[in-house]
């Protein structure tokens, strides 16, 4: 190999690989097929939003990614390794965390107890990126509410806590299913701010939303889902400019 060939090889070797790669997946419930060949990729440090009307298959897609629903066809890779149909706990251990739909705080646990309960076990990763101190630094409101119970928190605070306790597990990819559903516009803004902070710390986010909302402002990429397939994949700017896609698949 000449020096030049060796030199040209370098970009191939060091090219960053996608964090998550979903290839042509199909899935469904019993006799009904819901996903008809969904493909998407998420690059490291990206926020990607997956949008679409109710019933289009967004939650089903993330059930497949997190191992809650088996694939009938297709493959999923995470950090270059195949995770197709691995058990959900194994997928979580590899660094994919799901923030479920609806805010799930325990009424009788304090904010601090919520966070500690979800901390990654000390032996799993020595250099845990997230601990109580870092969470409180980034989200001072939670520090103020440290000793309050789950049922004493506002909707926005509960959403913040649900997100932060997921971070305590030190994931590389966070998947959030409709975090702004049912929240007042002012709180929706706040959720956008939390997600920006998380992204700045190097965690990638797959954000599921029905409407454009905050997704357009904080996302690097926008995907739109219609009837079990991706019908748009591009920048938020190009989606904004694409009246046809917005009218057909997003607006009522
Ligand atoms: N557990 C289930 N059993 C049977 N059908 C389901 C189940 N969950 C979702 N579905 C159906 O799958 C389709 C897609 O649903 P879903 O993935 O939840 O859509 P979205 O998250 O985009 O609103 C819908 O027609 C819905 O009724
Ligand atoms: Mg859903």
Contact indicator for 35, 26 with CB cutoff of 8 Å = yes
Work out which ligand 1 atom sits closest to the CA atom of 63: 17
Tally of CB atoms within 10 A around 191:
21
**Whether residue 59 has its Cβ less than 6 Å from ligand 1:** yes
Tokens found for residue 33: 């097929």
Rounded Cα–Cα distance for residues 159 and 47 (Å): 18
Nearest-CA residue for atom 8 of ligand 1: 60
Topology of domain 1-95+209-252 in CATH is Rossmann fold (3.40.50)
Neighbours of ion ligand 2 (CB under 5 A): 58-59
Task: Report the C-alpha gap between 126 and 152 in whole angstroms.
Answer: 34
Coil, strand or helix at 97 = strand
Determine whether the shortest distance from the Cβ of 55 to ligand 1 is under 6 A. yes
Mean pLDDT for all residues in the chain: 88
Q: What pLDDT, in 10s, does the model give residues 53-106?
A: 999 999 999 999 999 999 999 999 999 999 999 999 999 999 999 987 666 789
Q: Does pTM surpass 0.85?
A: yes
Pocket probe for ligand 1: among 32, 54, 60, the residue whose CB has the most ligand atoms within 8 Å is 60
pLDDT digits (tens, 9 = 90+) for 108-166: 999 999 999 888 765 455 556 788 998 999 889 999 999 999 999 988 888 889 989 99
């Amino acid at each position: 190999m000449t020096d030049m060939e060796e030199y040209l090889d370098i970009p191939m070797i060091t090219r960053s690989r996608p964090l998550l790669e979903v290839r042509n997946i199909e899935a469904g419930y019993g006799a009904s097929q819901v996903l008809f060949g969904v493909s998407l990729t998420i690059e490291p440090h990206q926020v990607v939003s997956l949008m679409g009307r109710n019933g289009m298959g967004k939650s089903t897609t993330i059930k497949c990614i997190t191992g809650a629903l088996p694939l009938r066809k297709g493959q999923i890779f995470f950090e270059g390794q195949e995770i197709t149909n691995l058990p959900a706990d194994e997928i979580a251990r590899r660094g994919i965390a799901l923030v479920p739909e609806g805010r799930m705080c325990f009424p009788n646990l304090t904010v601090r107890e919520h966070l500690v309960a979800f901390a990654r076990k000390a032996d799993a990763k020595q250099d845990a990126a997230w601990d109580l101190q870092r969470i409180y630094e980034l989200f001072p409101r939670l520090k103020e509410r440290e000793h309050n119970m789950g049922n004493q928190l506002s909707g926005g605070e509960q959403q913040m806590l649900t997100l932060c306790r997921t971070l305590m597990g030190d994931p590389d990819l966070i998947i959030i299913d409709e975090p702004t559903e049912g929240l007042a516009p002012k709180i929706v803004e706040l959720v956008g701010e939390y997600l920006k902070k998380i992204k700045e710390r190097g965690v990638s986010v797959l954000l599921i939303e029905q409407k454009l909302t905050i997704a357009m402002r904080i996302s690097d990429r926008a995907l739109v889902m219609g009837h079990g397939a991706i019908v748009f994949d591009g920048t938020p700017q190009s989606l904004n400019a694409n009246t046809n896609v917005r009218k057909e698949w997003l607006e009522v």
